[in-house]
A and B are shown apart, each in its own frame.
Chain A
Amino acid sequence: MPDGNWALASLRKLFTSGYYARTLWFTFWQAVVSTLLTLILALPGAYIVSRYRFPGKKLLQAFASVPFVLPTVVVATAFQALLGSRGMINVLLQNLFGLAEAPLQLDHSVLFVLLAHVFFNYTVILRIVGGFWSRLDPSIAEAARVLGASSLKVFFKVTLPLLKPAILASTLLVFIFCFSSFGVILILGGPRLATIEVEIYRQAVHLFNLPMAAALSLIQIVFILLMMWIYTALQRKQVVSLGPVARSGIQVPMRSLKDRFWVGGNVILILLLVGTPLFALVLRSFLSETGLTFAFYRALFENPVQSIFFVPPLEAVLYSCGFALVTLLFSVVIGLLAAQFLSMSKGRLSAMFDPIFMLPLSTSAVTLGFGFIIALDRPPLNLRTSLLLVPLAHTLVAFPFVVRSVLPALRSIPQSLKESASLLGASPFRVWRAVELPIIGRSLIVGAVFAFTISLGEFGATVFVARPQTPTMPLAIYRFLGQPGAMNYGQAMAMSSLLMLVTAAGFLMLEKLRVEGQGEF
């Protein structure tokens, strides 16, 4: 950057111009509303997965996680395919009632954006709060019940305060995703709605106003960093030592009608929320103007244009999986070390590093990718052509999730547990392996699942760092979407459906791993 004058000018303009102030305000309030909506819808879901055993639960959880791993571009397109003016529901209603115009006019409305955010983030709260909830001793709530508290009072006076760390953690993550939402707003929000992230993109790519883009990035980073600092300070104060509770003792089968109502209601909600857009997406991948067709899938394996950028989709799948596995490994190692460090260090050091470890989350993916190119393109660290660059970028995005998943569990381990193990003659490493690891194991796996799926779906940074001949699946989809015509659109849908398949398969694998590992806990 040549000199510092422009930055100040841009910053000043940010606050004096009504347009940018409106953008800041919109970014903020849509994130708040999206987060609250997600929380309200996902808390009952977290309750049923933590308390009940029912057939197909694992499958349902994996299913609910699918939206989260989809590239935001695909999420947006799936909602377009479902609720857009020419979407599945409108077409259905028009045909049923013979309407001339689409009855649902959601295009470019805030509601559309909010729905897509809930769809996308539902699983974050489901997993983090559900995981924490399943470790709460149910007799605490029962004690409150016997003491005379109605179910409602038990929830608000006992359960909710105990869940607070997990709710804060997951809510914060959701808020940040919504705050820095990009693809969803760009596609569903139309030209009138813009978050800071979208504005950065417009300024940088459409208007070539790099100073303004940089100023906006700065605002975003500062704002989120500030929030995280407040949040981590809050969280450290509210650590409650619960001690882990065996999972088997807690979860009960459905017995009463009320149980069935709760479980059934939430299963239906998940199926509707997650299922219908995905169904619309898959339907469109098989649907051309003339009816059902495999043409889009067949076309994926051909190269009619003979483009030099063409890479068989199968290779994109393989690259995606490879990158995701390396990312998982890196993120778990780095995330675990970071979480361990944070849980051991007290006071100012921890207070300082905690938000720093979250920094990659607050930076926009676009900025991150761009930064990678600028920072790592010359010796001694020239990774520009290395295959490692993509997993490295993904790790930077993914490891904060591992930290956030593991830290609450790590902090809930009573000091006496570790002390007693070391007094029993265990070396520090044995203490870690025999005491801490089994207790945090479940949270660690949750973090690892996140890392894997984030890598599979990551788009903003990958678009900068991946080389043309080693694309990931989201990149391949993006390329199809960028070209005109029903054929390309259909292929994008087909590729998205494939990505869904791969991520769902990966999830089921990890979920299975989790069940098998359970015996050791």
Chain B
Amino acid sequence: MGILDIQNLAKVIESDLVLQNINLSLQASEILCLLGPSGCGKTTLLRLICGLETPDSGSILYEGRDITPVDPHLRNFGMMFQEFALFPHKNVYENVVFGLQVKNWQESDIQKRAQEVLALVGLTELRQRNVNDLSGGERQRVALARSLAPQPRLLLLDEPMGSLDRVLRERLLTDLQLILKKIRITTIFVTHDHNEAFAVADRIAVFNAGQIEQIDRPQDLYKKPANRFVASFLGFQNLISGTVSADGGIDTPLGTVHLPQAEPSAGKTVTVLIRPEAAHLVEPSATPAAGELLVTAQIKDIRFQGAEYRLTIRTEKGECLVVNLPNDIQAPQTGQQVRLGLKESAMSVIEA
């Protein structure tokens, strides 16, 4: 049992089943990411957790106590909204102390706490500024400071990077993670960007159409996506169909691979995921090494990405693959024939 437990949660909005069969458990100080395309129900789940919506069935337990009937203002959770929802009629300081004032803190404590959180997010200089005059990054910090000020038991972040530009996003993401880890706050972070999720999360829950597809640590999610949806949502393109042979190997159009499977049974159709880092260039005369697949292919497209080249290739059998090659090779040309080794260590079986 964790600090927050969500059991069989379901929510219907206007006769649409937006969430169903949601089961989650959060440990103290853990950062959980809810990852999924827009409209998959992740924001609704946040709103259910903080009490702005009521579930149609299931329960939400905080430290083992059912909080479903508790009003949002009594839950002491912090929430950062997508467009930040700052109070436009208040300045930075007034925004930050709002949660303390409505909880009737002492004035001296309010000032002390405000100073702490403003320093934490690096906004001490801007405390008297009108929030409408702030930049996007500054507004985000105000929103974070405001939700942290009342020392919430749980922090909910709804697409906190959504409205920021890319460069700013990367910098603020690092800042955010440092802050969250520093104060060791239990956090749920909603995003549709898997890179954001990988950067911040201790665990990631992938959502699709109102259901959780997979919950795992980022590295496990990356190495072994549970199904085709998760794999394609993480940006993987090389999904090859194969058949399990009698000896437990998998016959694919590219050759036979030997990968760990949960229940190998001959004749079963599975999907093999080949991650782009599986490939490396080999000599045309090379013979297959152990745990490796050799393919001959023609380069259809090349993109230089700094640390590596991203190649789109078509094999002799007509399969299209996207692979990465380190940038220390001689620049390949479009149309060129190459021979590639594909390491089985960068492959996994998707059974569903």
Contact = CB atoms under 8 A, between A and B. Distances in A.
Interface of A: 137, 139-140, 142-151, 153, 157-158, 161-162, 240-242, 253, 256, 414
B133 to A, nearest CB: 10
B98 interface: yes
A147 B85 contact: no
Which of A140, A162, A240 counts the most chain B CB atoms within 10 A? A140
A139 B81 contact: yes
Contacts of B83: 137, 139
A139 B163 CA distance: 15
B102 A157 contact: yes
Interface string B126-165: 0000001000000000000011001000000000000000
Contacts of A161: 89
Interface of B: 14, 50-52, 54, 71-79, 81-83, 85-89, 98-99, 102-103, 132, 146-147, 150
B99 A147 contact: yes
B52 A148 contact: no
A158 B103 CA distance: 15
B88 A147 contact: no
B85 A145 contact: no
A147 B52 contact: no
Contacts of B98: 144, 147, 149, 157
B72 A139 contact: no
A241 B132 contact: yes
Nearest to B53: A255
A153 B102 contact: yes
Contact of B99 (A148, A241, A253): A148
A140 B147 contact: no
Closest 3 interchain pairs by CB?
A147-B99, A139-B85, A149-B102
Nearest to A139: B85
Contacts of B76: 148
Given A149-B102, A253-B14, A143 B88 contact: no
Contacts of B77: 146
A445 to B, nearest CB: 25
B79 A149 contact: no
Contacts of B54: 256
A139 B88 CA distance: 12
A150 B73 contact: yes
Contacts, number: 77
Most A CB within 10 A of own CB, among B50, B73, B74, B81: B73
B85 A242 contact: no
A153 B79 CA distance: 18
B146 A147 contact: yes
Contacts of B88: 140, 162, 240-242
B87 A140 contact: yes
A472 B14 CA distance: 48
Contacts of A150: 71, 73, 102
A139 B82 contact: yes
B85 A142 contact: yes
Given A158-B87, A161-B89, A241-B132, A145 B81 contact: no
B93 to A, nearest CB: 15
Main secondary structure of the interface of A (DSSP, over half): helix
Nearest to B52: A142
A140 B81 CA distance: 9
A147 B150 contact: yes
Task: Give the one of B14, B88, B147 with max A CB within 10 A.
Answer: B88
A142 B98 CA distance: 13
B85 A148 contact: no
Given A140-B87, A158-B87, A162-B89, A148 B102 contact: yes
A381 B222 CA distance: 83
A293 B296 CA distance: 97
A250 to B, nearest CB: 13
B1 to A, nearest CB: 25
Contacts of A149: 73, 98-99, 102
Contacts of B78: 146-147
Contacts of B86: 140, 143
Contacts of A142: 52, 72, 79, 81, 85
A167 B67 CA distance: 37
Contacts of A144: 87, 98, 102
A139 B75 CA distance: 17
B87 A146 contact: no
A142 B87 CA distance: 11
Contact of A148 (B87, B89, B150): B150
Nearest to A142: B52
A139 B147 CA distance: 14
Contact of A146 (B14, B73, B89): B73
Given A148-B73, A158-B87, A414-B132, 18 more contacts: A139-B81, A139-B85, A140-B88, A142-B81, A142-B85, A146-B73, A146-B77, A146-B78, A146-B147, A148-B102, A153-B102, A157-B98, A157-B102, A161-B89, A162-B88, A240-B88, A240-B132, A253-B14
19 contacts: A139-B81, A140-B85, A140-B88, A142-B79, A142-B81, A143-B81, A144-B87, A145-B72, A145-B73, A146-B75, A147-B73, A147-B78, A147-B147, A148-B103, A149-B73, A150-B71, A153-B73, A161-B89, A241-B88
B81 A240 contact: no
Given A148-B103, A149-B73, A149-B102, A143 B89 contact: no
Contacts of A242: 88
A253 B14 CA distance: 8
Nearest to A147: B99
Nearest to A245: B83
B52 A145 contact: yes
Contacts of B132: 240-241, 414
Contacts of A147: 73, 78, 98-99, 102, 146-147, 150
Contacts of A148: 73-74, 76, 99, 102-103, 150
B52 A240 contact: no
Contacts of B87: 140, 143-144, 158
A517 B99 CA distance: 40
A146 B50 contact: yes
B102 A137 contact: no
Contacts of A256: 54
Contacts of B150: 147-148
Contacts of A145: 52, 72-73
Contacts of B79: 142-143, 146
